[in-house]
Structure 1
Amino acid sequence: MVDLIRLDCFIELFWHYFEKWFDTDFFLCESCVDDFQIKWAGINLLDEQFLSTSLDSFYSGSHLVDVYSFSEFKGFVEEITCPYCGSSLKSNSYIWPYILTIDLGEFSEEINDIAEIAKKTPFMLLSHPFAEKIYELIKEISKETSELIFDFNLYRCRKLAETGSLYSCDELGAVPDNKATEGRFNHTGYGFLYVATTEDVSCSEVRSNEKYPVCMAEINFLKPLKILDLTDLEGCKLDNELYKTLICSSLIYNTPKSREWDRPEYVFTRFLADCALCAGFQGIKYRSRYGRKGGDNFVIFKDKTDINFQWKSIYEIERIYLKE
């Protein structure tokens, strides 16, 4: 028979030590963490504190071990429920403590609406109030954003052709408009420049088989550019809830379900790029889906209304080499 008094004390002590350890009363459990990482992909990519810990380790490392036997812990911990999905815990399972910096529910309905519009009627995206709010937000961020000085090099790579020969500068630069297919931030026929801050991220982005080398270009930007930063979870100048929700949600990091022509997952990010370009930005900084490799991506826009636009005024390729 369960000792209800000891159980009540256990629940109270569990949360006391949990909050003391992790400075939060929120966590995810094994039942919901995969779903959370899909819906809130930005959190997993942007925040290094999103790490797991085992419940057994939490028990042995806290003062719970001084009050309750391990057999009691195994029984009592099943009365603790996950604050995100409500599932009961198991002693030999893992949890993901997390300090929430956003209200997960505030814009969840709007995010779902945007995803549905992207599938059904993508050109109607701006008719939704949430999209209008984002456009206004980007204009506000633009007012507070200075040009970024690129005092570091960036990387771009391509899989080697069957001949194994290195590509030319033209072949490793921005994709020509007539060869540009729909990307995360560019429309078909819009040849933007995608680059990464590290070689590893650049390789991962082209899904290169690591057994084989790629042709890598080391790129130097020739002038400062005004960049919309979608990686700044903690230091956003506006400290805006909408901005934080935007960069934490899956809207930015959706992965297309296929490599065919229809990619509704890219509708919103292309809309976002249009908003940024209209607001005066020249590019976007965003976390790579392979961000655990320690790097970010940049996409640099081409303004097709500027008849004087030339890529050679934006960047130069310093060297081309084989990357194992």
Structure 2
Amino acid sequence: MLIWESTLSTGPSYLPVSAFDIDTFNDILVEEIDSDFTSSICCCVDCYEDFALTCPGVEIHDVEFQTNAVSVYYCVEQSHLVHLYTAELMTLKHFVFCPRCGTYVRRSIHIFEHPFDRVEEIEKSIGEPPSIGSATPFLLLKHPFARSILEAVRGLSADTTPKLTPGTFFRARKSAHITKQYQSFSDIATFGPSPSGVIGEGRFNHAGAPMICLATTLETALLEIGSLNELSSVVKLALDVEQCTACRAAH
């Protein structure tokens, strides 16, 4: 069976190709990408927003993902496919398949590999608990993925012991929040734990208890704020062993 893309038939360089031709072409390209990047096509321009919504940490923080966006035509033209195909190449490069959304790539692709297997299954599992938690939160722990996360956290907590952590740490806050609460930028207490009246349940504080989160680098402290276009204030804290021992005793 021959496939002819009508939008490609306006020029003399385009040739009819079969489904077998397209599948073979994509198989070779996948092997090329795996050989050059030890990775694969993660998403294309059409499903980028869906990927960013599902994996926001990768989209915002992963340098490899951010720097491995490439034009699909450039990717084809820099591969060994140019030596394997001659007249058909002009047609076949319009049929690069995106495994995420199941469409033919129009402009660019992101080359990236998650550090885990069963990506599709895990993404589905990640997406289900939030909707259950919003509609029927009392049923959340009946979800297998939510249960497995709870068991993993309990296992890690059982194997975790408090440790002294002397060194330099950073704590960032949005400057607008400090001003709104009439706090002083020069008062160290401004960067301490939030009062219990304003703290809520969060991804790092499910109990909603006052606590302080410190970062080991300035960049991490700023990234944790999660707002790239807002003014932030950062305090640098230096803790020695004696201070850590005193804090542990107080705890």
- TM-score, with structure 1 as normaliser: 0.55
Tell me if 1:30 matches 2:45: yes
Contact 2:97 2:103 in 1 (8 A): yes
Equivalent residue for 2:98, pick from 82, 87, 92: 82
Contact 2:72 2:109 in 1 (8 A): yes
Contact 1:77 1:89 in 2 (8 A): no
Higher relative contact order (CA 8 A, sep 6+): 1
Tell me if 1:313 matches 2:247: yes
Matched to 2:218, the amino acid is E
Equivalent residue for 1:186, pick from 205, 212, 216: 205
Tell me if 1:156 matches 2:185: no
Q: Distance in 2 between matches of 1:6 and 1:103?
A: 27
Q: Distance in 2 between matches of 1:6 and 1:130?
A: 39
Tell me if 1:63 matches 2:77: no
Deviation at 1:208, TM superposition (A): 7.7
Q: What is the alpha-carbon root mean square deviation over aligned residues?
A: 3.6
Deviation at 1:313, TM superposition (A): 1.1
Matched to 1:157, the amino acid is A
Matched to 2:36, the amino acid is W
Tell me if 1:116 matches 2:150: no
Contact 2:172 2:191 in 1 (8 A): yes
- Deviations along 1:206-226, one digit per CA (max 9) or x if unpaired, are 74855x6x5432124567xxx
Deviation at 1:145, TM superposition (A): 4.3
Higher share of residues assigned helix: 2
Q: Distance in 1 between matches of 2:240 and 2:113?
A: 40
Contact 1:153 1:221 in 2 (8 A): yes
Q: Distance in 2 between matches of 1:111 and 1:147?
A: 30
- The alignment partner of 1:177 has SS state of coil
- The alignment partner of 2:186 has SS state of coil
The corresponding residue for 1:53 is 70
Contact 1:155 1:202 in 2 (8 A): yes
- The alignment partner of 2:120 has SS state of coil
Matched to 1:78, the amino acid is H
Residue pairs, 1:179-218, within 5 angstroms: 179-186=198-205, 190-203=209-222, 205=225, 207=227, 214-218=232-236
- TM-score, with structure 2 as normaliser: 0.69
Matched to 1:134, the amino acid is I
**5+ residue gaps, structure 1:** 224-311, 315-324
Q: Distance in 2 between matches of 1:2 and 1:150?
A: 66
**5+ residue gaps, structure 2:** 1-14
The alpha-carbon distance between structure 1 residues 153 and 75, as it changes in their structure 2 partners (threshold 3 A), is same
The corresponding residue for 1:239 is none
Residue pairs, 1:1-324, within 5 angstroms: 1-2=15-16, 4=18, 7=21, 10-44=25-59, 47-50=62-65, 51-68=68-85, 72-90=88-106, 93-100=107-114, 101-145=116-160, 147=162, 150-158=165-173, 159=175, 161=179, 166-186=185-205, 190-203=209-222, 205=225, 207=227, 214-221=232-239, 313=247
- The alignment partner of 2:49 has SS state of helix
Q: Distance in 1 between matches of 2:27 and 2:205?
A: 52
Matched to 1:99, the amino acid is E
- Deviations along 1:74-97, one digit per CA (max 9) or x if unpaired, are 42122332111111123xx21112
Matched to 1:161, the amino acid is T
Deviation at 1:178, TM superposition (A): 3.1
Matched to 1:84, the amino acid is R
Deviation at 1:134, TM superposition (A): 1.7
Q: Distance in 1 between matches of 2:208 and 2:122?
A: 32
Q: Distance in 2 between matches of 1:5 and 1:108?
A: 29
Q: Report percent identity of matched pairs.
A: 24
- The alignment partner of 2:236 has SS state of strand
